[in-house]
Structure 1
Amino acid sequence: MTMLNATEARAKLYSLIDEAAETHQPIVIKGKRSNAVLLSEEDWNAINETLYLVSIPGMRESIMGGMATDTDECSKDLDW
């Protein structure tokens, strides 16, 4: 994980945005009063979607059950 201070981050902002998007790794920016984390928009959206899904009662268990199910046991017919 990349860590740098706010002055360094300011000087390299555009390259840090590219790095976060390409590597999907968070970048920690340390300030005098507090710290922040730079994430790609794609990663931020994925985090928010995950938080939303696990907030639905029973969804976490349903997902875990689906992950444990062998694909051969799944129906090949879809109700479209």
Structure 2
Amino acid sequence: MITVDVKEASEKLPALVENTITKHEPVLISGTNSNAILMAESDWRAMNETLHLLSAPGMRDTIQKGLSENLQSTSRKLNW
């Protein structure tokens, strides 16, 4: 992860944003009292979706079960 101070981030913001979007590498912006993270919107959305799914009771187990299921043995017809 790249780390820059607030002044440097301010001076290089367009380049930092472009690099963050294309390389999907967050940037730690260090401030006097606290820090912030610059990250691509798509990464932020994916992270929040993951957190949302994993916060649902039983969802983690359901996802793991689905990932280990043999696709040849699944039904192609939906029974809704």
Shorter-chain TM range is 0.7 to 0.9
Matches within 5 A, 1:62-73: 62-73=62-73
Structure 1 stretches (4+) deviating beyond 3 angstroms? none
- Under a length normalisation based on structure 2, what TM-score does the superposition of the two structures give? 0.88
Q: How far off its partner does 1:73 sit?
A: 2.3
- Under a length normalisation based on structure 1, what TM-score does the superposition of the two structures give? 0.88
| Matched residues, number | 80
Sequence identity (%): 41
Pairwise CA RMSD: 1.5
Please tell me the residue identity of whatever aligns with 2:75.
Answer: S
Q: Show the counterpart of 1:45.
A: 45
State the SS of the aligned residue for 1:36: strand
Q: Show the counterpart of 1:3.
A: 3
Matches within 5 A, 1:1-80: 1-78=1-78
The whole-number CA distance in structure 2 between the counterparts of 1:15 and 1:78 is 48
